[in-house]
């Protein structure tokens, strides 16, 4: 894909050369997939700091895949034998999550969750939407985003024929999905969604 990495590249240290190479390798894999030369891509984690040192400003694989494939509506989704989780917001600081919780973002995530499950062979996916605030806001006591933004988006998704429900408290919705009540959980931010799915299947 590019110049060979030096044989004395230090392990476990931030390196612009390694960051550039990792990015180039991912891009080559995406190009091969789009050309039909391969059917899937498997990657290791990217060291974002190394990429940034090389002048490559992407927060992760998801955004590289989206740009390289010309995809506008996208999300990060992780799945294992017990859970499927799709994120509304991906690699952003927790302080910036609130500004990105919009009706449009919620609806896009629910549409993508429904579509992904159908592509996996689930005829009528049950999409659970996790609340943003503790206890899904507790009727407005812990914030109004669940009432004013997330719930109306769920209603609109239902009007489109998506079997979406919620917002459900984030501390119990993953357990309920694991028990079979839902086919996928739409989580609001990175750690809300990825901690449970990685805890159950990171290996």
- DSSP H stretches of helix in 70-203: 94-100, 103-119, 145, 151-159, 173-178, 190-201
pTM value > 0.85: yes
As a whole number of Å, the CA-based R_g of the chain is 19
Which string of b and e fits 14-44 if b means at least 16 CB within 10 Å?
Answer: ebebbbbbbbeebbebbeebeeeeeeeeeee
- Please check the confidence at residue 60 and state whether its pLDDT lies above 90: no
pLDDT tens digits, 89-148? 998 999 999 999 999 999 999 999 999 999 999 999 999 999 999 999 899 999 999 999
24 sits in which H/E element: helix 16-34
Give burial (CB, 10 Å; 0-12/13-18/19+) of 183.
Answer: buried
Q: Identify the band that residue 201 occupies on the pLDDT scale cut at 50, 70 and 90.
A: confident
């Amino acid at each position: 894909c590019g110049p060979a990495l030096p044989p004395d590249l230090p392990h476990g240290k931030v390196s612009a050369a390694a960051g550039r190479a990792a990015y180039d390798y991912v891009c080559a894999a995406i190009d091969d997939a789009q050309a039909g030369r391969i059917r899937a891509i498997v990657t290791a984690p990217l060291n974002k700091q190394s990429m940034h040192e090389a002048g490559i400003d992407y927060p992760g694989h998801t955004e590289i895949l989206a740009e390289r494939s010309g995809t506008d509506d996208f999300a990060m989704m992780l799945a294992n034998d017990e859970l499927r989780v799709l994120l509304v917001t991906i690699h952003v600081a927790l302080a910036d999550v609130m500004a990105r919780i919009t009706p449009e973002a919620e609806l896009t995530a629910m549409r993508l969750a429904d579509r992904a499950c159908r592509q996996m062979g689930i005829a009528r996916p049950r999409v659970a939407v996790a609340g943003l605030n503790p206890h899904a806001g507790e009727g407005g006591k812990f914030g109004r985003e669940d009432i004013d933004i997330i719930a109306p988006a769920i209603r609109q998704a239902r009007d489109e024929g998506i079997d979406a429900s919620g917002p459900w408290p984030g501390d119990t919705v993953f357990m309920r999905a694991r028990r079979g009540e839902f086919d996928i959980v739409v989580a609001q931010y990175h750690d809300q969604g990825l901690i449970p799915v990685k805890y159950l299947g990171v290996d």
